[in-house]
Structure 1
Amino acid sequence: MIPPFASPDIEAAFDVPDVQARAGLLALRRLIFDTAAQTPEAGRIEEALRWGQPSYLTPETGTGSVIRLGIPKGARFALFMHCQSRLIPEFAAAFPAWDRFEGTRAVLFNNPREVEPVRHGWLIKRALTYRIRPPLEIPA
Protein backbone atom coordinates (compact mmCIF):
# COMPACT_ATOMS: atom_id res chain seq x y z
CA MET A 1 0.00 0.00 0.00
CA ILE A 2 1.29 3.42 -0.93
CA PRO A 3 1.04 5.84 1.98
CA PRO A 4 -0.45 9.30 1.56
CA PHE A 5 2.01 12.11 1.01
CA ALA A 6 3.82 13.09 4.20
CA SER A 7 2.86 16.76 3.76
CA PRO A 8 1.08 19.13 1.36
CA ASP A 9 4.50 20.52 0.35
CA ILE A 10 5.68 17.08 -0.73
CA GLU A 11 2.46 16.50 -2.65
CA ALA A 12 2.97 19.87 -4.36
CA ALA A 13 6.47 18.78 -5.45
CA PHE A 14 4.80 16.11 -7.61
CA ASP A 15 2.49 18.67 -9.23
CA VAL A 16 4.63 19.25 -12.30
CA PRO A 17 3.15 20.50 -15.58
CA ASP A 18 4.53 17.62 -17.67
CA VAL A 19 1.98 14.79 -17.33
CA GLN A 20 4.55 12.12 -18.30
CA ALA A 21 7.03 13.41 -15.71
CA ARG A 22 4.37 13.41 -12.99
CA ALA A 23 3.34 9.84 -13.86
CA GLY A 24 6.98 8.76 -13.82
CA LEU A 25 7.73 10.43 -10.50
CA LEU A 26 4.67 8.79 -8.96
CA ALA A 27 5.73 5.40 -10.39
CA LEU A 28 9.16 5.81 -8.78
CA ARG A 29 7.55 6.85 -5.47
CA ARG A 30 5.39 3.72 -5.56
CA LEU A 31 8.43 1.57 -6.32
CA ILE A 32 10.35 3.11 -3.39
CA PHE A 33 7.56 2.29 -0.94
CA ASP A 34 6.98 -1.18 -2.44
CA THR A 35 10.69 -1.97 -2.24
CA ALA A 36 10.93 -0.62 1.31
CA ALA A 37 8.01 -2.84 2.36
CA GLN A 38 10.01 -5.85 1.12
CA THR A 39 13.19 -4.67 2.88
CA PRO A 40 12.47 -4.84 6.63
CA GLU A 41 16.12 -4.23 7.55
CA ALA A 42 15.74 -0.67 6.21
CA GLY A 43 13.10 0.13 8.81
CA ARG A 44 10.53 2.88 8.42
CA ILE A 45 10.90 5.11 5.37
CA GLU A 46 10.53 8.84 5.87
CA GLU A 47 9.35 11.06 3.03
CA ALA A 48 10.70 14.61 3.24
CA LEU A 49 11.74 17.51 1.05
CA ARG A 50 15.48 17.93 0.47
CA TRP A 51 16.68 20.60 -1.94
CA GLY A 52 13.00 21.06 -2.86
CA GLN A 53 12.73 17.45 -4.05
CA PRO A 54 10.82 14.50 -2.58
CA SER A 55 13.40 12.47 -0.65
CA TYR A 56 13.31 9.10 1.06
CA LEU A 57 15.39 8.30 4.14
CA THR A 58 15.81 5.54 6.72
CA PRO A 59 15.84 7.65 9.92
CA GLU A 60 15.39 4.88 12.48
CA THR A 61 17.98 2.43 11.21
CA GLY A 62 20.33 4.78 9.37
CA THR A 63 20.96 1.99 6.88
CA GLY A 64 20.25 3.92 3.73
CA SER A 65 21.54 6.62 1.49
CA VAL A 66 19.06 9.37 0.61
CA ILE A 67 16.98 8.75 -2.51
CA ARG A 68 15.54 11.81 -4.27
CA LEU A 69 13.08 12.27 -7.13
CA GLY A 70 13.11 15.25 -9.43
CA ILE A 71 13.26 16.92 -12.81
CA PRO A 72 16.79 17.05 -14.26
CA LYS A 73 17.96 19.19 -17.15
CA GLY A 74 18.54 16.29 -19.56
CA ALA A 75 15.33 14.26 -19.16
CA ARG A 76 11.70 14.40 -18.04
CA PHE A 77 12.34 12.95 -14.56
CA ALA A 78 15.06 11.23 -12.57
CA LEU A 79 15.92 8.97 -9.65
CA PHE A 80 18.76 10.68 -7.76
CA MET A 81 21.34 9.06 -5.48
CA HIS A 82 24.14 10.61 -3.44
CA CYS A 83 26.77 11.52 -6.04
CA GLN A 84 29.70 10.41 -3.87
CA SER A 85 28.24 6.97 -3.21
CA ARG A 86 28.96 3.84 -5.24
CA LEU A 87 25.25 3.37 -6.03
CA ILE A 88 25.04 4.58 -9.64
CA PRO A 89 28.41 3.08 -10.69
CA GLU A 90 27.41 -0.31 -9.20
CA PHE A 91 24.00 -0.11 -10.87
CA ALA A 92 25.54 0.78 -14.25
CA ALA A 93 27.96 -2.15 -13.94
CA ALA A 94 25.18 -4.56 -12.94
CA PHE A 95 22.87 -3.46 -15.76
CA PRO A 96 25.08 -2.15 -18.56
CA ALA A 97 23.52 -0.35 -21.52
CA TRP A 98 19.99 -0.24 -20.06
CA ASP A 99 19.68 3.29 -18.69
CA ARG A 100 20.88 6.84 -19.20
CA PHE A 101 22.76 8.50 -16.35
CA GLU A 102 23.69 11.93 -15.16
CA GLY A 103 27.20 11.23 -13.90
CA THR A 104 27.19 9.33 -10.62
CA ARG A 105 24.04 11.00 -9.32
CA ALA A 106 20.97 10.02 -11.34
CA VAL A 107 19.15 7.59 -13.57
CA LEU A 108 17.31 9.58 -16.25
CA PHE A 109 13.88 8.80 -17.69
CA ASN A 110 11.69 10.25 -20.44
CA ASN A 111 8.71 7.92 -20.15
CA PRO A 112 7.02 6.31 -17.12
CA ARG A 113 7.16 2.94 -18.94
CA GLU A 114 10.97 3.06 -18.56
CA VAL A 115 10.61 2.51 -14.79
CA GLU A 116 11.31 -1.19 -14.44
CA PRO A 117 10.49 -2.75 -11.04
CA VAL A 118 13.19 -5.44 -11.01
CA ARG A 119 16.08 -3.33 -12.27
CA HIS A 120 15.24 -0.04 -10.58
CA GLY A 121 13.97 -1.87 -7.50
CA TRP A 122 17.46 -3.38 -7.23
CA LEU A 123 18.95 0.13 -7.13
CA ILE A 124 16.39 1.35 -4.59
CA LYS A 125 16.97 -1.67 -2.33
CA ARG A 126 20.70 -1.10 -2.57
CA ALA A 127 20.20 2.56 -1.55
CA LEU A 128 17.93 1.62 1.38
CA THR A 129 20.55 -0.80 2.72
CA TYR A 130 23.70 1.02 1.56
CA ARG A 131 25.41 1.04 4.94
CA ILE A 132 24.74 -2.60 5.85
CA ARG A 133 25.13 -4.70 2.72
CA PRO A 134 27.79 -5.58 0.25
CA PRO A 135 26.69 -5.12 -3.37
CA LEU A 136 23.53 -7.07 -4.16
CA GLU A 137 23.45 -9.99 -6.50
CA ILE A 138 22.22 -9.19 -9.98
CA PRO A 139 18.73 -10.66 -10.48
CA ALA A 140 18.52 -13.46 -13.03
Structure 2
Amino acid sequence: MKQFLNTAVKAVFDDYPLEIRRKMLVLREAIFAVAASEGVGQLEETLKWGEPAYMTAETGCGSTIRMAWKKEKPNQYAMYFICTTNLVETFRTLFPHQFKYEGNRAIVFRETEDVDMDSLSICIAMALTYHRNKRRKQS
Protein backbone atom coordinates (compact mmCIF):
# COMPACT_ATOMS: atom_id res chain seq x y z
CA MET A 1 0.00 0.00 0.00
CA LYS A 2 1.23 3.49 -0.88
CA GLN A 3 2.18 5.38 2.25
CA PHE A 4 0.09 8.40 3.19
CA LEU A 5 2.11 11.62 3.05
CA ASN A 6 -0.85 13.75 4.14
CA THR A 7 -1.94 12.87 7.68
CA ALA A 8 -5.30 14.61 7.24
CA VAL A 9 -6.12 12.32 4.31
CA LYS A 10 -5.05 9.28 6.33
CA ALA A 11 -7.32 10.38 9.18
CA VAL A 12 -10.30 10.49 6.81
CA PHE A 13 -9.57 6.96 5.59
CA ASP A 14 -9.13 5.80 9.19
CA ASP A 15 -12.63 7.10 10.00
CA TYR A 16 -14.31 5.00 7.31
CA PRO A 17 -15.97 1.70 8.32
CA LEU A 18 -13.48 -1.15 7.92
CA GLU A 19 -14.93 -2.79 4.78
CA ILE A 20 -15.51 0.55 3.06
CA ARG A 21 -11.95 1.60 3.98
CA ARG A 22 -10.54 -1.58 2.43
CA LYS A 23 -12.44 -1.00 -0.80
CA MET A 24 -11.54 2.68 -0.97
CA LEU A 25 -7.88 1.88 -0.38
CA VAL A 26 -8.04 -0.35 -3.46
CA LEU A 27 -9.39 2.62 -5.44
CA ARG A 28 -6.62 4.83 -4.02
CA GLU A 29 -3.97 2.31 -5.09
CA ALA A 30 -5.51 2.18 -8.57
CA ILE A 31 -5.32 5.97 -8.89
CA PHE A 32 -1.60 5.97 -8.02
CA ALA A 33 -0.88 2.96 -10.27
CA VAL A 34 -2.64 4.51 -13.26
CA ALA A 35 -0.90 7.84 -12.64
CA ALA A 36 2.49 6.11 -12.70
CA SER A 37 1.71 4.22 -15.90
CA GLU A 38 0.15 7.15 -17.75
CA GLY A 39 3.08 9.51 -17.11
CA VAL A 40 0.97 12.19 -15.48
CA GLY A 41 3.67 13.09 -12.97
CA GLN A 42 3.51 13.30 -9.21
CA LEU A 43 0.00 13.24 -7.79
CA GLU A 44 -1.01 15.51 -4.97
CA GLU A 45 -3.19 13.75 -2.40
CA THR A 46 -5.17 16.28 -0.42
CA LEU A 47 -8.64 16.97 0.95
CA LYS A 48 -11.34 18.82 -0.95
CA TRP A 49 -14.58 19.37 0.92
CA GLY A 50 -13.13 17.07 3.59
CA GLU A 51 -12.78 14.17 1.13
CA PRO A 52 -9.67 12.55 -0.36
CA ALA A 53 -8.78 14.19 -3.67
CA TYR A 54 -6.10 13.43 -6.25
CA MET A 55 -4.68 16.09 -8.56
CA THR A 56 -2.00 16.10 -11.23
CA ALA A 57 -0.31 19.08 -9.60
CA GLU A 58 3.07 18.49 -11.25
CA THR A 59 1.86 18.46 -14.86
CA GLY A 60 -1.66 19.86 -14.66
CA CYS A 61 -2.70 17.38 -17.33
CA GLY A 62 -5.59 15.85 -15.43
CA SER A 63 -8.90 16.57 -13.79
CA THR A 64 -9.25 16.12 -10.03
CA ILE A 65 -10.62 12.80 -8.77
CA ARG A 66 -12.31 12.74 -5.38
CA MET A 67 -13.53 9.76 -3.34
CA ALA A 68 -16.03 9.67 -0.52
CA TRP A 69 -18.20 7.60 1.74
CA LYS A 70 -21.24 9.30 3.26
CA LYS A 71 -22.93 8.29 6.50
CA GLU A 72 -26.31 9.00 4.87
CA LYS A 73 -25.66 6.18 2.39
CA PRO A 74 -23.61 3.74 4.48
CA ASN A 75 -23.60 0.85 1.99
CA GLN A 76 -22.03 2.76 -0.88
CA TYR A 77 -19.01 4.87 -1.71
CA ALA A 78 -18.17 6.88 -4.80
CA MET A 79 -15.50 8.31 -7.05
CA TYR A 80 -16.27 11.90 -8.05
CA PHE A 81 -15.20 13.86 -11.10
CA ILE A 82 -15.58 17.54 -11.94
CA CYS A 83 -19.16 17.86 -13.18
CA THR A 84 -18.34 20.42 -15.88
CA THR A 85 -16.23 17.87 -17.75
CA ASN A 86 -17.65 15.22 -20.07
CA LEU A 87 -15.90 12.45 -18.14
CA VAL A 88 -18.89 10.71 -16.53
CA GLU A 89 -20.89 11.03 -19.75
CA THR A 90 -18.01 9.32 -21.57
CA PHE A 91 -17.73 6.61 -18.91
CA ARG A 92 -21.46 5.96 -19.19
CA THR A 93 -21.11 5.54 -22.97
CA LEU A 94 -18.09 3.24 -22.69
CA PHE A 95 -19.26 1.25 -19.67
CA PRO A 96 -23.07 1.40 -19.52
CA HIS A 97 -23.47 -1.76 -17.46
CA GLN A 98 -20.23 -1.95 -15.48
CA PHE A 99 -21.01 0.93 -13.11
CA LYS A 100 -23.79 2.90 -11.49
CA TYR A 101 -23.57 6.64 -12.09
CA GLU A 102 -24.75 9.69 -10.21
CA GLY A 103 -25.61 12.43 -12.69
CA ASN A 104 -22.56 13.82 -14.45
CA ARG A 105 -20.29 13.69 -11.43
CA ALA A 106 -19.77 10.23 -9.95
CA ILE A 107 -19.36 6.50 -10.28
CA VAL A 108 -21.11 4.89 -7.32
CA PHE A 109 -20.06 1.54 -5.85
CA ARG A 110 -21.99 -0.70 -3.48
CA GLU A 111 -20.15 -2.17 -0.54
CA THR A 112 -21.23 -5.71 -1.47
CA GLU A 113 -20.27 -5.55 -5.16
CA ASP A 114 -16.94 -6.22 -6.81
CA VAL A 115 -15.53 -3.35 -8.85
CA ASP A 116 -14.53 -3.92 -12.47
CA MET A 117 -10.99 -2.60 -11.96
CA ASP A 118 -9.99 -2.92 -15.63
CA SER A 119 -12.82 -0.61 -16.69
CA LEU A 120 -12.29 1.68 -13.71
CA SER A 121 -8.60 2.02 -14.55
CA ILE A 122 -9.59 3.31 -17.99
CA CYS A 123 -11.89 5.87 -16.34
CA ILE A 124 -9.12 6.94 -13.96
CA ALA A 125 -6.66 7.29 -16.86
CA MET A 126 -9.15 9.43 -18.78
CA ALA A 127 -9.55 11.74 -15.78
CA LEU A 128 -5.82 11.97 -15.04
CA THR A 129 -5.09 12.90 -18.67
CA TYR A 130 -8.23 14.95 -19.35
CA HIS A 131 -6.57 18.33 -19.99
CA ARG A 132 -3.71 16.82 -21.98
CA ASN A 133 -6.17 14.97 -24.21
CA LYS A 134 -8.44 18.01 -24.48
CA ARG A 135 -5.50 20.14 -25.68
CA ARG A 136 -4.62 17.51 -28.31
CA LYS A 137 -8.17 17.54 -29.68
CA GLN A 138 -8.10 21.34 -29.96
CA SER A 139 -4.80 21.39 -31.91
- TM-score interval w.r.t. the shorter chain? 0.7 to 0.9
Summarize the alignment of residues 1-140 of structure 1 with structure 2, pairs less than 5 Å apart. 2-40=1-39, 42-72=40-70, 73-74=72-73, 75-111=75-111, 114-133=114-133
- TM-score, structure 2 normalization: 0.87
- Distance of 2:42 and 2:16 partners within structure 1: 31
**Cα deviation per residue 1:6-31 (whole Å; 9 max; x = unaligned)?**
22111011123422211111010010
**Cα deviation per residue 1:53-102 (whole Å; 9 max; x = unaligned)?**
11100112110000001014555211110111111000010011221111
Identity of aligned residues (%): 34
Letter in 2 for 1:22: R
Shift, 1:117, TM fit = 2.0
Which blocks of at least 5 consecutive residues in structure 1 are unaligned? 135-140
Q: Does the Cα contact within 8 Å between 1:21 and 1:112 map onto a contact in 2? A: no
RMSD, aligned CA: 1.7
How many residues are aligned here? 132
Describe the SS at the equivalent of 1:38.
helix
- TM-score, structure 1 normalization: 0.86
Shift, 1:111, TM fit = 2.6
- Distance of 1:99 and 1:107 partners within structure 2: 6
Q: Does the Cα contact within 8 Å between 2:16 and 2:69 map onto a contact in 1? A: no
Which blocks of at least 5 consecutive residues in structure 2 are unaligned? 135-139
Letter in 2 for 1:20: E
Structure 1 residues 17 and 51, CA gap change in structure 2 (3 angstroms): closer
Shift, 1:37, TM fit = 1.1
Shift, 1:3, TM fit = 2.8
Q: 1:137 corresponds to which residue? A: none
Q: Does the Cα contact within 8 Å between 2:79 and 2:106 map onto a contact in 1? A: yes
**Cα deviation per residue 1:111-134 (whole Å; 9 max; x = unaligned)?**
375222210000100000001126
Moved segments of 4+, more than 4 Å: 72-75
Q: Greater shift after overlay, 93-102 or 15-24?
A: 15-24
Q: Does the Cα contact within 8 Å between 1:57 and 1:67 map onto a contact in 2? A: yes
